[in-house]
Amino acid sequence: MSRVTLCGWGRTSPSVATLDDVSSESEIAIALASSRAIIARGLGRSYGDAAQVSGGTVLRSRIGDIGPIDDQGVVLVGAGASLDELLSESIPQGWFPPVTPGTRQVTIGGAIAADVHGKNHHVDGSFARHVIEMRIVTPGGGATVSPSVDPELFLATMGGMGLTGVITAVTLKLLRIETDQVLVDTQRFPNLDEVMSEMTHGDENFRYSVAWVDCMTRGAHLGRSILTAVNTRAQTTSNLLHSSHPHRRGSRFLFDAPNGLLNPLTIRAFNEAWFRSSPRLQLAKPESISSFFHPSTGSRLEPPVRSPRILQYRSACPKVPATPCAEHRTPLIFGPFASFLAVLKRFGPSSPGPLSFPMPGWTLALDLAHRSASLTRSARRPRRDGPLGGGRIYLAKDARLSRGEDEGHVSPARRIP
């Protein structure tokens, strides 16, 4: 054990805690019983202050074995294994996680704790939907839970951010694939209204879809977008290419830059170049699984010291008519604070987990360079005022809620006792 300073990937809220590496359920149970302030931690890829407890104990699991994948795609995975490690085993055998976030560097336990979602939530839901059963350790010891065995604990753990116990092993159902490539459709849209209308009416034909949104434009071009989608809705293996290429790792949006370089001028120039360089309409372009699903893969390491401090504003808001979409324009505008990466997705039905983030409707993620307290105050404003008040806060990403501040800003079903 050692005293260390920990933070999330956004590097906005560091805290000092005792870091304890554990490799068995008995070690975890002893640690839980001996500390009043304790939380489990994965790879530290949450943007906010998840998996931190100032002055307490942070457990880091070394239980990461990956078992054989059976002919139905069922696999037993140690909760400390990363998605990257699972993919390295599963893709050569023709299997893929049914839900994956934008990075491979997240542990399986962390994926359940945050109930992560991907580009296919409108079709396949969140990660929790595909978990068959799991092992959870509390101070009293370990237990296997599932939808039929202690379902209340099982569901509360989905999106519960580690507050119900420490996950040690997960039985997961994978998705059959035929290749390590997909055929990607790309289309540009002049504003937010048009891309949301297209996603509302066309997403059912696409298993995976996501839109990059330009937050630096105003007026009729506010939220101009680039929509990318993979048409595998009808069959899990349709529109895939047979390929002998080795699995490659993408890094489309990953870069290290001082905070000073992330300013409205440079972001506006980058967004202009990115939008203009994208095709107006391009159908069925071959792309590796990694570059499409994990554009910000990076390494397994904690955030580099040289990287900018990032605050991510992520909202979920209910279904609205495809047009007009004025409700969704407000969070795009942060005055002098420019978002250098904005991503829009459409959500399907909610997870049964009471703390899970997705809800039917939309989610918008804005990455902002964190420079001052004024940014924190500005980033709170859209979710406090206006239509987004009926939405939810993603506990895996949020770094701005203070104790007692959740009253009125998180729906009752989403409050932590």
pLDDT at position 313 is: 74
pLDDT exceeds 90 at position 414: no
pLDDT digits (tens, 9 = 90+) for 274-312: 999 999 999 999 999 988 998 765 555 555 444 557 777
Mean of pLDDT values over 361-383: 63
Higher pLDDT residue, 400 or 63?
63
pLDDT exceeds 50 at position 325: no
pLDDT at position 204 is: 81
Residue 42: which residues within 8 A CB-CB, separation 6 or more? 51, 60, 61, 80, 106, 107, 109, 110, 113
pLDDT digits (tens, 9 = 90+) for 124-174: 999 999 999 999 999 989 999 999 999 999 999 999 999 999 999 999 999
With residue 368 as reference, give the H or E element that holds it.
strand 361-369
Residues 305-339 as b/e (b if ≥16 CB within 10 A, e otherwise) read: eebbbbbbbbbbbeebeeeebebbbbbbebeebbb
pTM as predicted: 0.84
Mean of pLDDT values over 350-366: 88
pLDDT at position 250 is: 36
